[in-house]
Amino acid sequence: MLGKLLKYELAATGRRLPLLYGVLIAVSVLFGLIIGTGAFNEPVFGRISTAIYVMAAITLGLLTLIILIQRYYKNLLGNEGYLMMTLPAGPGAHVASKIISATIWIILGGLAGVVAMNLLFYFVTDGTWYVSFTAILHMAKGALSVKGGWLVLVELIVLGILLCAEAAAKVYAAISIGHQWSNHRALGAVFAYIGLSVIEAIAAIPLQKVIGEDGYYWTYMSGETVPETQVFFLLLIIVVAVMLAIYWFVSWILIKKRLNLQ
């Protein structure tokens, strides 16, 4: 059932989010062409162009976040919740589908941002890429040439995916907590998010000390040995996975035990 829920969720969000990413890329190309003509050398035009582009990028990012939040709130905690809860799927599956869908769109949004920045830089500099893909491939080959380097690359990819999922799950958990307020639920969600962030930061303090005492953190930063780097990333993966599970559980238990669709 999770697969069907995810398919439905991706179809629902896919009607708007790809359009936003396309707009960002199109705006990047447009501003790249305009700035590449030399008009950017005019101080006033340069400031205006830069401000407009930055505002457009921020706005599109915020719209993506708003769409994902609205989908969660209206689909599970709003009027649509009556219909969703009649489906042969538990609250845990519903929350999981929302988290997985949001993770996919966050990753795609990040890739769209990289493409947009590269296109902007390419047209502004008349043929230079902001991110050198050749350099990235060279670094990847260098890592793979070291014994155990492939595992570090895999861990980095897994960690990146988990961080995106954990970020989405944290937002959804905050919304679920805020929904318990009888009034001003949006404000409650904001306070809940701040509270979760504070708890998360406090809980990370002992972990940072342990990692530092064992030498994994500083060994990774200085890049001395691959095995200790593997251990460092493995610890991070475990921690992020645990936080993801906790946030999923918070949303699941609140929807299962304290769902109020009034």
pLDDT in tens, 225-247: 667 777 778 888 998 999 999 99
Q: What is residue 96's predicted lDDT score, i.e. its pLDDT?
A: 92
Percent of the chain residues topping a pLDDT of 70:
74
Say how many C-beta atoms besides its own lie within 10 A of residue 173's C-beta. 25
Q: What is the pLDDT of residue 3?
A: 76
Which amino acid, one-letter code, is at 123? F
Instruction: Give which of 93, 102, 96 is closest to 71, Cα–Cα.
Output: 102
- Whether the per-residue pLDDT at 93 is higher than 80: the answer is yes
Per-residue pLDDT at 56: 77
- The span from the first CA to the last CA of the chain, in angstroms, equals 27
Per-residue model confidence (pLDDT) at position 92: 87
Do 203 and 196 contact (CB within 8 A), yes or no?
A: no
Looking at per-residue pLDDT, the higher value among 157 and 36 belongs to 157
Give the predicted TM-score (pTM) of the model: 0.82
pLDDT given at position 218: 44
Residue 214 has pLDDT above 60, yes or no: no
pLDDT of residue 74: 83
Helix H, strand E, coil C: the string for 5-21 is HHHHHHHHHCCCHHHHH
* pLDDT 10s digits, 25-50: 888 888 877 776 665 555 666 666 66
Taking residues 127-138, report their average pLDDT: 63
Average pLDDT, the chain: 79
pLDDT, residue 139, reads 67
Q: Cite the DSSP H helix spans in the chain.
A: 2-13, 17-36, 43-72, 81-84, 91-124, 133-144, 149-178, 185-214, 216-222, 226-258
